[in-house]
Amino acid sequence: MRIRTSFEEATEAYQIPKLIRLAPNLYAAAFTLMKMIPARHILKKAEAEGRIDPDTVIVETTSGTFGLALAMQAVHLDRRLILVSDPVIDERLYRRLTDLGAVVERVPAAAAAVTGGYQAARLERLAQVRAEHESTFCPEQYSNPDNPRAYATVAELMLECLGQVDCVVGPVGSGGSMCGTVSYLRSVLPECRAIGVDTHHSVLFGQPDGHRELRGMGMSLMPGNLDHTVFDEVHWGTAPSAYAATRQLHQRHGLFMGPTSGAAYQVARWWAQANPDALTVVMLPDEGYRYQDSVYDDEWLMAQGHLDAPLPPEPVQVDHPADPDGPWTTYGWARRTVAEVLAGERDPARVR
């Protein structure tokens, strides 16, 4: 029989989600820092394969939690880390990264006005950094197949704790967490449904790029790790309803999570109520500390015009991903590619 043992290092402890029952048929996979899973897996694998020498500098372009996870793992590996970011990086995150010994380069604010914006300027600077050092390793979370593969451990935990999982709901950014977790669950449970939660004006599921208020999900560029054929259903939401749902998650369940968690919770709760015989798990990627002065601050919400934003009771079904049919829309993706969906083929599984 097994006994509980200690963690080898902090990053090992940080990556494990807690599975928490929210309703008889709804469970949360609550992460302290979900990006720890791919960051740790990618760096440890690269080290084991001899791709990170003692002199190798780890480089990555990021302004989010993936950089934080890399910085923590770089401490354990005793390697230098250079992160290329932009001026809009969260100041608290910046301080935490530099405290972990990471060098954070911010491309100049003027880059925002040039074609390609910060994204292009960051990639350009990243290339320069790589040229300046003899040996560099870039984890490339958006295209590295080891990102989704790292999530086998989450599928493992869900299967051991729950046995049956009928539906997984989660926010989509790089595609790693949802595609990885669901693909591995399907190796044992092939019929398990995947519901991706995106935000309007994100290119991930066929909408044209545009300004997005809600950070941490949705993208302006299509990540290689997003396998669209994993998804049965896609939902698009707005920032104010995500904020309101984040607060509800906190008030009703004591779960102190970030706004992408709120966005996923809103969809998962609706789906679980509509499907009482199915067991649903919702992915909650990070904690609420970074948002105490925003999502958790009523004055800030009021200044944004988001205080007491009404939560739509249910999504509006749209016939095309880009149909702007309201604050909360859904589309039956039916495990197709973007090309298949945009070719206008009618969704065969439109009626659930």
Contact footprint for another protein (CB under 8 A) = 1, 145-146, 149, 152-153, 155-157, 159-161, 163-164, 183-185, 187-189
CB contact set of 272 (below 8 Å; sequence gap of 6+): 23, 25, 26, 167, 278, 280
Q: Which long-range contacts (CB under 8 A, 24 or more apart) does 118-125 make?
A: 118/86, 118/88, 119/220, 119/221, 121/86, 122/61, 122/84, 122/85, 122/86, 123/61, 125/61, 125/84
Query: 157 — phi, psi (to 5°)?
Result: -65, -45
Nearer to another protein, 141 or 199 (CB): 141
DSSP 122-157: HHHHHHHHHHHSSSEE---TTT-THHHHTTHHHHHH
Minimum distance from residue 180 beta carbon to another protein (Å): 8
User: How far apart are CB 30 and another protein at their closest, in Å?
Assistant: 19
Instruction: Quote the least distance from Cβ 45 to another protein, whole Å.
Output: 9
Nearest distance in Å: CB 123, another protein: 27
CA distance 21 to 295: 24
The structure tokens listed for 12 are: 């090992």
Task: Compare residues 183 and 207 and give the one whose CB is closer to another protein.
Answer: 183
Q: Which is nearer to another protein, 149 or 290 (CB)?
A: 149
**337: its two tokens:** 């590619």
For residue 327, which phi and psi values (nearest 5 degrees)?
Answer: -65, -30
Rounded least distance, CB 139 to another protein, Å = 16
Strand, coil or helix: 118: helix
Q: Compute the distance between CA of residue 349 and CA of residue 352 in angstroms, rounded to an integer.
A: 6
Residue 75 or 162: the one with the smaller Cβ distance to another protein is 162
CB 36 within 8 A of CB 13: no
Least separation in angstroms between CB 196 and another protein: 21
Residue 184 CB, shortest distance to another protein, in Å, is 5
Minimum Å gap between C-beta 336 and another protein is 21
* CB closer to another protein out of 191 and 299: 191
Residue closer to another protein by CB (options 230, 245) is 230
The nearest distance, CB 17 to another protein, in angstroms, is 14
User: CB-wise, 138 or 157, nearer to another protein?
Assistant: 157
Q: Which residues partner with 87 through β-bridges?
A: none
Tokens of 158: 């869900």
By the 10 Å C-beta count (0-12 exposed, 13-18 middle, 19+ buried), 158 is classed as: buried
CA distance 217 to 195: 14
